[in-house]
Structure 1
Amino acid sequence: MPAPTTTPALSFESGLAVVRGVDAPEAPDCLRWDARVHALVAAGVHYPQLREWAASHGVAELSAPSTLEVPSTLDWRAPREAQQEGLGRWRAAGSRGTVVLPTGAGKTYVALLAIAATAAECCVIVPTRALVAQWFTQLADAFGVEKVGAYYGDEKSRRAITVTTYHSAFTLFEQDGARFGLLICDEVHHLSDGAEGDARSWHDALTIAPAAARLGLTATYPDGRDSMLAKLVGPVVYRRAIGEMTDAELARFALERRYVDLTRAERARYDGCTARFEAYTEKSGWRSAAPTGSEAWKKFVASTLRNPSARRAWRDFLERERIVRMAEAKFDECARLLRLFPGEQSVLFCGGVDMAMEVSRRFAVPMITASTPASERHAVLAAMRHGTIRAVATVQVLDEGWDVPNAKLGIVLGDSTRGGVRQHTQRLGRLLRRQGDQVASLFEVVAAGTWEFYASQKRSAGVRRVAEPQLGFGL
């Protein structure tokens, strides 16, 4: 912490913008007196505003972002039209805001261009450790490995370009936030408004960060739930949908739903579980116990800890989910699709770890889940890129942020969101990186006559919307 001084000065200290030697009436409204540091303070996010004020009022700045030496020998390919437009719109918006591009359209390349254009030390924030490794590799290839560090878990390497997770960002910014002039928030939809949980704590990290330039990247922007996101990162400055870029920059794609029936034994168990669960629901009235469905569900789940009847209903619900997830006909249909596309590399999206394990066992393919070690995960994805393995089974881990351009067949055997449009769109996006004239195919295998039918209708309707060309005039 800088030594006390009566000379007017602005600095960044432990997540705060600190102004010393200035009377409160002369200071901007965002500043408040803090007796602990004997100075005026504001959240770090106000630092760019205070920098401008300090420059015009003769206040010395003691903390300034470091510059990045961009190699003059960068030999990058020319950006595509959408990438160039996205970067241009972001810079025109004062280098603040979110660029929304479909998966496979090259959002990472937009980030590389932004880093080079800003020429300031940069922090890239991602939601998972797997993405830390992926970003590290791409940044090292672009700018040189000596300029790139990773800050998460036991790894605490700070460099001119530092990759961190949303979980670790607060600590990094509290200690070294002043050095970064640019923040890049990958998969920024994770910062959608939330009353509790990760989103709120991740907002705190961006609130203390002093960086003026901020770039958000996502394929699925949380429209209507972005008030804090727009405040901390900036509004959407550029958006393209899948349908607008198909053929031109993304692979053409086909979506198809395949219905399968439960066996007689599976149907009997499913109907029995459903009857008992609905009987308890009607008797207890838990669905009307709260103003929203999500709040009512939380109350029901909480009641299972103390109410034996609720606990039995909960077990029936989970068994019903398992019956649909592990339906025998799904494995048969998956085998038929793999035979139908013998030359395609495939991603088999499963609804749970138990299903992924069974798919891996039956079809002798590797499996990637949240518990898969990073080294094994990297080896499997590298083998996919090199074509030495044909398919991989996964639950949620590969829904976003990984890159295997030659995978053009996706088989959705179940989801983990009961019809979430975002997850389905992300899964489709995994297949859309253009490889010549290859066409991507995404098949949904749905258990007919079960709750999964309605979940499939919900998620697929959203994908159809994003798949339609959007020319701006409703055409």
Structure 2
Amino acid sequence: MSPVLKYDRGTLIMWEVPQVVAHLFTWDARSQLYRARGQFYREVSELLRGHGAPYRDEAARFQKLELSFARDITPYAHQKEALQAWKAAGRQGLVVLPTGAGKTLVAQLAMGATPRSTIICVPTIDLLHQWYSGLLAAFPDASIGLLGGGSRDETPILVSTYDSAAIHAEELASRYALLICDEAHHLPSDFTRVIAEMSLAPYRLGLTATPKRSDGREADLDSLLGPVVYERQPADLRGLALSEYREVQILVRLSAAEQARYDELIALRGAFLARMNIQLGSIDGWKQFVMQSGTLEGRRAMLAHREARALAYGTEGKLRVLEEVLANHPAERSLIFTDDNATVYRVSREFLIPAITHQTPVKERHTLLQAFRDGRYRTLVTSRVLNEGVDVPEASVAVVLSGTATEREHIQRLGRILRKVTGKQATLYEVVTEGTAEERVSKQRKGQWKPRGDSQVPAWEGINAPH
């Protein structure tokens, strides 16, 4: 009798394992059988078939689908290239495209080219509904369902939040042949990675503007979804799939009083870090700093760090720059980003601008975004809540008052103003406090990725000062 490959509780199981796949299985003494991670399903199947080893596959419950687009679609060249690269890589891997470059259509093209039962994982409820609406419009005859936000459907095409998919990973693992992960950088976390580890899906597509994570776990995406198979940056698509844009960095100086206080605080923090031999250039260093903040000296150093950061991020000079930026774009829709809610509410009060934070109720947020879309509001100020996972209406100006440290955050915020509109010129202003840690991290980020055609304004002399 041929060996049987089965699925049980997130794992592949066999009672007897052919030698060719023995390295993928481990013996489970409790259940008296061999187990392997679900994600090895494709490798196990290919090895057994390639070596002519007889076996019966009773693990997968995939469905073939009939998918046809409801409308004629003409993808951009980069979308066709991304699809071909993914297919050439064996229908596994990561596609890296900037926000606004049409990652969702790439996924729909992949589904059309791989008509099998599909699960799409997204990080937020907003994206859950956006994907659902988009799939209904693309494939109106298909059975499409939701998992999350109060829904728990069992359909051949399922859109789920990462959290819901992780909770139900065992029961979903054997049903879907194609696993699509939007904002795929969320996948490697301790809680959500089980989605890919348990899944039998032989076909996997990850979508992201940048795979990088602060903990370095983006390397795990290679084994969970596959390597990067196609990548484009905003500068590669400007004027083509994305609007023409420019980036302007504006350096502002602390006032004399602010600078004196900033130097005092940094000296206090620096002395403590030197005594404790703590380096803040790594995650481990920050963990040590946080651990030490439970002591009296450590708490004083941490409070000094936070106050210095608040001074750099919230200097009065930034508000004067913001006033001039908005005056120079009186008719354009603008988004203002800050690193913290306190600055959001301060800008909202002083400039009479509607604000959106994680504290904003869902209905109010939708109302504000709709008013922005309709043109009733010209400007919105927000912290990080609009970085990803939200369909932000058309805007052509972004002002980053603070929060410039990571490549992902920068690309996400730039992407909010890059949606293609004929004749549109988008501008991203990055307002950075000179001579502080904020300037250093901004330079570090630009060392990782530097868009072409940037301009820089010297320490604040006005936006229209000669470059």
Question: In structure 1, what is the equivalent of residue 324 of structure 2?
Answer: 336
Structure 1 residue 158 displacement after superposition: 3.3
Question: In structure 2, what is the equivalent of residue 277 of structure 1?
Answer: 269
In 2, Cα distance between the equivalents of 1:27 and 1:39? Answer: 14
Q: 1:274-353 to 2 correspondence within 5 Å?
A: 274-282=266-274, 284-287=275-278, 293-305=282-294, 307-353=295-341
Contact 2:94 2:225 in 1 (8 A): yes
Structure 1 residue 261 displacement after superposition: 3.1
Structure 1 residue 335 displacement after superposition: 1.8
Structure 1 residue 442 displacement after superposition: 0.5
Indicate yes or no: 2:207 matched with 1:217.
yes
**CA shift in 2, pair 1:407/1:145, >3 Å:** farther
In 1, Cα distance between the equivalents of 2:333 and 2:445? Answer: 24
SS of corresponding position for 2:422: coil
Give the CA RMSD over aligned residues. 2.7
What TM-score, normalized by structure 2, do the two folds share? 0.87
What amino acid does structure 2 have at the position aligned with 1:12? Y
What amino acid does structure 2 have at the position aligned with 1:164? S
Contact 2:169 2:194 in 1 (8 A): no
In 2, Cα distance between the equivalents of 1:147 and 1:389? Answer: 38
SS of corresponding position for 2:100: coil
In 1, Cα distance between the equivalents of 2:115 and 2:276? Answer: 59
What amino acid does structure 2 have at the position aligned with 1:235? P
Q: 1:49-448 to 2 correspondence within 5 Å?
A: 49-52=43-46, 56-67=52-63, 69-72=65-68, 74-144=70-140, 147-152=143-148, 154-191=150-187, 199-222=189-212, 226-282=218-274, 284-287=275-278, 293-305=282-294, 307-404=295-392, 406-415=394-403, 419-448=405-434
SS of corresponding position for 2:200: coil
Question: In structure 2, what is the equivalent of residue 17 of structure 1?
Answer: 12
What TM-score, normalized by structure 1, do the two folds share? 0.86
Question: In structure 1, what is the equivalent of residue 460 of structure 2?
Answer: none
In 2, Cα distance between the equivalents of 1:380 and 1:160? Answer: 35
Structure 1 residue 26 displacement after superposition: 7.6
In 2, Cα distance between the equivalents of 1:388 and 1:17? Answer: 56
Contact 1:139 1:145 in 2 (8 A): no
**CA shift in 2, pair 1:176/1:135, >3 Å:** same
Contact 2:332 2:396 in 1 (8 A): yes
More moved, 144-153 vs 86-95? 144-153
Structure 1 residue 297 displacement after superposition: 2.5
Contact 1:24 1:33 in 2 (8 A): no
Paired residues, number: 450
Contact 2:119 2:160 in 1 (8 A): yes
What amino acid does structure 2 have at the position aligned with 1:256? V
Q: Determine which of 456, 464, 473 is the counterpart of 2:442.
A: 456
In 2, Cα distance between the equivalents of 1:41 and 1:25? Answer: 14
More moved, 396-405 vs 429-438? 396-405
Structure 1 residue 79 displacement after superposition: 0.9
What amino acid does structure 2 have at the position aligned with 1:230? D
Could you give the per-residue CA deviations for residues 142-178 of structure 1, whole angstroms, max 9, x where no partner exists?
2249733232365433322222233333332211211
SS of corresponding position for 2:229: strand
Structure 1 residue 109 displacement after superposition: 0.5
In 2, Cα distance between the equivalents of 1:129 and 1:467? Answer: 36
Contact 2:123 2:389 in 1 (8 A): no
Structure 1 residue 58 displacement after superposition: 4.2
